[in-house]
Structure 1
Amino acid sequence: MMPTSLLMTEKEMSRALSRMAHQIIERNKGCQDLVLIGIRTGGVPLASRLQEKIQEIEGRQVPLGILDITLYRDDWSLAVQQPVVRETKIPFPVDNKTVILVDDVIFTGRTVRAALDALTDFGRPRRIELAVLVDRGHRELPIQPDYVGLTVTTLPDEHVNVRLREIDGQDEVVLERPS
């Protein structure tokens, strides 16, 4: 068992997502021409929660999509022999929209790079912004999030685990350290 530290409680996660929703609305002067796309796996429930919070604030629903980046990763051939590809569901045009890509944690930036590559198969957004619950640093690519719930300093061998009630049955963010 790895030693862990609690970084965010359920309440802190909710507050961070509320703040991020307000920042998204403020930066975009409302939610006109705005779409949310969650990166599988953790980004999908977070995008859904942002969608709910934006609707509470603005009184209108922002379209929500799901993006699977498995075949766009630059490391998939190293990870497994047969990658498991899950459904991508973007049932709306992204052309000339502001796309908010949503993920749980940003680390090296490689997941986001893969998501950008995958997104271009669906059209040409006017702008793409990135929202992440946790930024843990250690970028290998020049990619920075626009909206961040929590910035935490980590060591490269530590792991940030975002637990979501939709997947794990509870909401919390923990830092796991090697023994």
Structure 2
Amino acid sequence: MVSEKTLILDARQVQEKIKRMAFEIYEHNFKEKNVVIAGIDGQGYILAQLLLKHLQEISPLEAKLVKVSLDKLSPLQSEVTLDCELRDLKKKCIILVDDVLNTGRTFAYGMKPFLNIEVKKIETAVLVNRSHTLFPIYPQYTGYELATTIKDHVEVNLGKETAVYLLD
């Protein structure tokens, strides 16, 4: 069975969403000296890089990019790792970033390393929120709210062929 692919956001729309999210991050953190943009490995990390780029264009905030690596399919069996030292993030504002929020499981496990140190706050940013949360995760920064069935799949491509698709 071939799944249907429906375009939800084209490249221009994705860029507009990311730029707006960067402005929102700055508005909510303008009193901070620096923030940490922590992208979940894969499309979440690419989104974090794009958010960082826009944030640097519009604000004086110092922003540190961090990659969060975990096994999305079996997060309990794998270690959640960061590509920096935990002590470098102490008392900082952390913005955890992923491409799609479905159940909240990936975000919940992605927060694990940050819970081992004293941080100022942890916020979440997502390009597409599907609102099927099973974990108490609500994104502070959302590019696009999309009502889907639990069986639907959202595909985010950030790169040469930037777009968001709904597969059903």
What is residue 46 of structure 2 aligned with on the other side? Answer: 45
User: 8 Å contact 2:35–2:62 — kept in the other structure?
Assistant: no
Write out the 4+ residue segments of structure 1 that deviate beyond 4 Å after TM superposition: none
What is residue 67 of structure 2 aligned with on the other side? Answer: 66
1:155-166 matches, cutoff 5 A = 155-165=149-159
Q: Secondary structure at the match of 2:91?
A: coil
What is residue 121 of structure 2 aligned with on the other side? Answer: 127
1:77-88 matches, cutoff 5 A = 88=82
- Unaligned runs of at least 5 residues, structure 2: none
Q: In structure 1, give the amino acid aligned to 2:11.
A: E
What is residue 107 of structure 1 aligned with on the other side? Answer: 102
- Please provide the CA RMSD for this pair: 2.1
What is residue 172 of structure 1 aligned with on the other side? Answer: 163
Structure 1 residues 48, 94: closer, same or farther in 2, change over 3 A?
A: same
Q: In structure 2, give the amino acid aligned to 1:73.
A: P
Q: CA deviation at 1:69?
A: 2.1
Q: CA deviation at 1:120?
A: 2.6
Q: CA deviation at 1:31?
A: 5.0
Q: CA deviation at 1:86?
A: 9.2
Deviations 1:102-145 (A, max 9, x none): 10000001001101113334x22110000000001111112100
Q: Secondary structure at the match of 1:157?
A: coil
**TM-score, normalised with respect to structure 2:** 0.90
User: 8 Å contact 1:36–1:101 — kept in the other structure?
Assistant: yes
Deviations 1:7-49 (A, max 9, x none): 1111001000100000000011255231111011111111111
Size of the aligned set, in residue pairs, is 165
Q: In structure 2, give the amino acid aligned to 1:145.
A: P
Distance, in Å, in 2 between the alignment partners of 1:51 and 1:30 is 17
Distance, in Å, in 1 between the alignment partners of 2:57 and 2:125 is 18
User: 8 Å contact 1:31–1:62 — kept in the other structure?
Assistant: no
1:145 maps to which of 139, 150, 155: 139
Q: Secondary structure at the match of 2:36?
A: strand
Structure 1 residues 98, 60: closer, same or farther in 2, change over 3 A?
A: closer
Q: In structure 2, give the amino acid aligned to 1:133.
A: L
Q: In structure 2, give the amino acid aligned to 1:11.
A: R
User: 8 Å contact 2:30–2:61 — kept in the other structure?
Assistant: no
Structure 1 residues 149, 97: closer, same or farther in 2, change over 3 A?
A: same
Which structure shows the bigger proportion of residues in strand conformation? 2
Distance, in Å, in 2 between the alignment partners of 1:56 and 1:103 is 21
- Unaligned runs of at least 5 residues, structure 1: 77-82
**Percent identity at matched positions?**
30
Deviations 1:78-123 (A, max 9, x none): xxxxx7x7973125711111001110000001001101113334x2
**TM-score, normalised with respect to structure 1:** 0.84
